[in-house]
Amino acid sequence: MNQHERDVLTIMKPVRDGQRTRAEAAELLRLGVRQVRRLQRELEAGGDGAVVHGLRGKPSNRKADDALRVAVLAAYKARYCDFGPTLAREKLAEVEKLQVGRETLRRWLVEAGLRERRRARGVQPGISPRRRPPRWHK
């Protein structure tokens, strides 16, 4: 349980005991009265664990299958290692019949060490960026 969830419990305890109104708790939590009512019902039904999100510690429901990841990385290594993520994604979909998003593929390639992160080029310290001369300056 993180600090925010502990704070919610300390604010909601007097509400459960009848020492604080839902409106006061709503103002302290920056929620609506209806949300405080919903939270109070959940706390009564599920105890203190009701403030913790149900998917904490579990993988996302949108997570791609590990078998798909292995197949995509194997195909990329075998045939498309010199392609960027966008073209590789298109070829994987056309030829290999493996559907994966471009950003997902890019992230998988970075994690597998098959592609390096590109960092934005910044201005080097001490060197001013070159600018073209004004149009009137000849």
45-83 confidence digits (pLDDT tens): 999 999 998 889 999 888 899 999 999 999 999 999 999
Q: Is 41 contained in some domain?
A: yes
Query: By residue range, what is the domain housing residue 30?
Result: 3-51
Give the number of other CB atoms < 10 A from CB of residue 71. 16
Q: Would you list the DSSP string of 20-49?
A: S-HHHHHHHHT--HHHHHHHHHHHHHHGGG
> What digits encode the pLDDT tens for the residues 22-45?
999 999 999 999 999 999 999 999
Same domain, 45 and 17: yes
Q: Is 102 contained in some domain?
A: yes
Half-sphere exposure of 105 (CA within 13 A, CB side): 25
What are 104's two structure tokens?
């997902």
Same domain, 47 and 76: no
Same domain, 47 and 80: no
Same domain, 42 and 71: no
Same domain, 72 and 39: no
- Identify the H or E element spanning 136: none
DSSP state for residue 131 in the 8-state scheme:
-
Q: Is 130 contained in some domain?
A: no
Half-sphere exposure of 75 (CA within 13 A, CB side): 21
- Whole-model pTM? 0.58
Q: Is 131 contained in some domain?
A: no
Query: Which of 109-113, 117-121, 128-132 has the highest mean predicted lDDT (pLDDT)?
Result: 109-113
Domain count, the chain: 2
Q: Is 138 contained in some domain?
A: no
Q: How far apart are CA 25 and CA 8, in angstroms?
A: 9
